[in-house]
Amino acid sequence: MSRSERDATRIVRLWLEEGATALPDRVLDAVLDQLPATPQRQPFRLAWRTPIMNNTVRLVAAAAAVVVVAVVGYQLFIAPSVGGPDASPSPSVPAATAAPGDTAGSAPGEFTACIPANSETQAGTDETVVVQHPEGDMTVERRRGFTWAGAISATDERFSGRHHLSWDGDQYTLASGDPGPTVAAEGIRIENDQGAWQGGSTYVELPDGTVAGGMMVLTGEGAYAGLEAVMFGTDGPCFLDWRGVVIEVPAIPVPYTGA
Amino acid sequence: MDTDLVVQAQRGDEEAFASLAVAVGNRLHAVAHRILRDLDLAEDATQQALLNIWRDLPQLRDPARFEAWSYRLLVRACYAEARRTQHWTPGLQLVEADEPMSDASASVADRDQLERAFRRLSVDHRAVVVLHHYLDMPLPEVAESLGIPMGTARSRLHYAMRGLRAALDADARPASREVAR
């Protein structure tokens, strides 16, 4: 005779009541003993603060600074004599003194931006999936659609206004239970009365805490059309701190293959 | 759960985490034991889960969700433990009870059949059964705890319970035939 579903459920529940209910002290002691040697993984957003400034990035930043100095110098000392006082203002590169409160000693075109502690406007989804791997299946915390919005202030007023930030990330855990890499992509839009900036970046965080990538490339709109900015996360007192430059970013060259 | 303790532990306070571990340790271990059906494996999984909880705690956005979130890491540790060892799937080893079963209707034969049927389930399926039927966790909460869609949780529970019920029915059938003779 077949048992009713309710009867079967009741038996399963009773059966599940059997078993250990107390964690032995030695297990708990072992856990607590290992805490000092087990570093905590910081929240994803901290990855924004510590991108690697590898040699390539340093080279790009240095080249950008040279370009900015050259163009600003041209505009200040050469262009007025060429174009005369009626020359229309070019949006291509900002003057170093564009922002009130600009940091003394900063490079021309450089700015810092701060997003203060703000509320998460959309929590997004959080799903655990298993990914097959030859060395053992990995589990992935797949987070999608996390967004923030609120005020942003910058030493360059063109980057002050309201921001919209979106973030997606995958955090891998190896079959052994050890942490794997985290890969993430983020997009940002900054809007104010004059125009807007939009861009994004990707980054990878390795299990040893090394973070690579995370450099935002922003394209200007409205009054900022024709401008581009590069910025990266840095340490600071805000929820998110950025440092960047407004530059003309060269197009990515076609790789030379010898042809 | 004291969310202040969770916040302190998120900031690296080991004493606060010790209090949390004491508060949730028994429950995590009980769940691990019911999923893995092996005391040693359950202890290893619980130990690893607690360490993973400590490691990932700063990433928990809502401290109020600590306990539900901790089950996700526990199930992941159970999964890893099950994969790491070879002897947990085959064979039959009845779980030692801390207390005798209170209802005589769950006979030894039922328990034997359930044990066999349960061991045929994947860790993912076992986890849903244990969280729902042992912890009395509503299915939406099970889905949230495990980080799976609600439909997946429902499907896993349905599949698992169908298997367990079939096992109980298989146990009941010979007895019926004997009566018929």
Provide DSSP, B92-129: --PPPPSS--S-TTS-HHHHHHHHHHHHTS-HHHHHHH
- Once rounded to an integer, what is the mean pLDDT over residues A71-81? 46
Q: Is residue A158 part of a domain?
A: yes
Asked if residue A92 has pLDDT above 60, the reply is: no
* pLDDT band at residue A179 using 50, 70 and 90 as cut-offs: confident
Measure in Å the smallest separation between the Cα of B91 and chain A Cα atoms: 18
Q: Do B54 and A38 touch (CB under 8 A)?
A: yes
Asked if residue A142 has pLDDT above 80, the reply is: yes
pLDDT at A237: 73
* pLDDT band at residue A46 using 50, 70 and 90 as cut-offs: very low
Asked if residue B86 has pLDDT above 60, the reply is: no
Asked if residue B160 has pLDDT above 80, the reply is: yes
Asked if residue B176 has pLDDT above 80, the reply is: no
Q: Do A39 and B55 touch (CB under 8 A)?
A: yes
* pLDDT band at residue A63 using 50, 70 and 90 as cut-offs: low
* pLDDT band at residue A28 using 50, 70 and 90 as cut-offs: very high
pLDDT at B25: 95
Q: Is residue A11 part of a domain?
A: no
pLDDT at A117: 65
Average confidence score pLDDT of chain B:
82
Whole-structure pTM value: 0.56
pLDDT at A51: 39
Residue A35: its chain B contacts at CB < 8 A? 14, 17, 51, 54
Structure tokens belonging to residue B30:
């009980």
pLDDT at B132: 95
* pLDDT band at residue A206 using 50, 70 and 90 as cut-offs: confident
- Category of A35 on φ-ψ map: left (φ > 0), alpha (ψ -120 to 50) or beta: alpha
Residues of chain B with CATH 1.10.10.10: 103-181
pLDDT at A222: 94
Average confidence score pLDDT of chain A:
74
pLDDT at A108: 62
The total number of structural domains in chain A stands at: 1
* pLDDT band at residue B134 using 50, 70 and 90 as cut-offs: very high
Lowest-pLDDT range of A215-224, A239-248, B104-113, B169-178: B169-178
- The partner residue sitting opposite B59, judged by closest CB among A30, A36, A44, is A44
Lowest-pLDDT range of A67-71, B13-17, B18-22: A67-71
Q: Is residue A179 part of a domain?
A: yes
**Cβ of A34 under 8 Å from any chain B Cβ?**
yes
Q: Is residue A2 part of a domain?
A: no
Q: Classify residue A77 as exposed, middle or buried by CB count within 10 Å of its CB (0-12, 13-18, 19+).
A: exposed
pLDDT at B172: 59
A 157-176 → B contacts, CB under 8 A: 171, 173, 175-176
Helix (H) or strand (E) segment spanning residue B40: helix B39-56
**Cβ of A251 under 8 Å from any chain B Cβ?**
no
Q: Do B165 and A179 touch (CB under 8 A)?
A: no
- The partner residue sitting opposite A40, judged by closest CB among B12, B47, B83, is B12
* pLDDT band at residue A119 using 50, 70 and 90 as cut-offs: low
pLDDT at B76: 87
Q: Do B98 and A42 touch (CB under 8 A)?
A: no
| 3-class secondary structure, A125 | strand
A 173-202 → B contacts, CB under 8 A: 173, 175-177, 179
Q: Is the confidence metric ipTM above 0.90 for this complex?
A: no
- Interval A158-176: pLDDT, tens: 999 999 988 888 888 887 7
- Once rounded to an integer, what is the mean pLDDT over residues A37-50? 62
pLDDT at B61: 77
> Domain range holding A101?
44-247
Residue B18: its chain A contacts at CB < 8 A? 32
Q: Do A12 and B33 touch (CB under 8 A)?
A: no
pLDDT at A3: 65
Q: Is residue A252 part of a domain?
A: no
Residue A179: its chain B contacts at CB < 8 A? 55
Residue A5: its chain B contacts at CB < 8 A? 161, 165
Distance CA A33, CA B17 (A): 12
Q: Is residue A9 part of a domain?
A: no
The CATH number of domain B103-181 is 1.10.10.10:
yes
Please provide the DSSP assignment of A86-108 as one string: TPPPP-SS--TT-STTPPTTPPT
- Once rounded to an integer, what is the mean pLDDT over residues A173-196? 87
Q: Over the range B105-120, which residues count as b (16 or more CB within 10 Å of their CB) and which as e? A: ebeeebbebbbebbbe
As its CATH architecture, domain B1-86 has Orthogonal Bundle (1.10)
Q: Is residue A10 part of a domain?
A: no
pLDDT at B111: 79
Q: Do B97 and A19 touch (CB under 8 A)?
A: yes
Question: Bigger pLDDT: B83 or A44?
Answer: B83
Q: Do A42 and B165 touch (CB under 8 A)?
A: no
| 3-class secondary structure, A168 | strand
Asked if residue A68 has pLDDT above 50, the reply is: no
Residue A19: its chain B contacts at CB < 8 A? 30, 33-34, 95-98
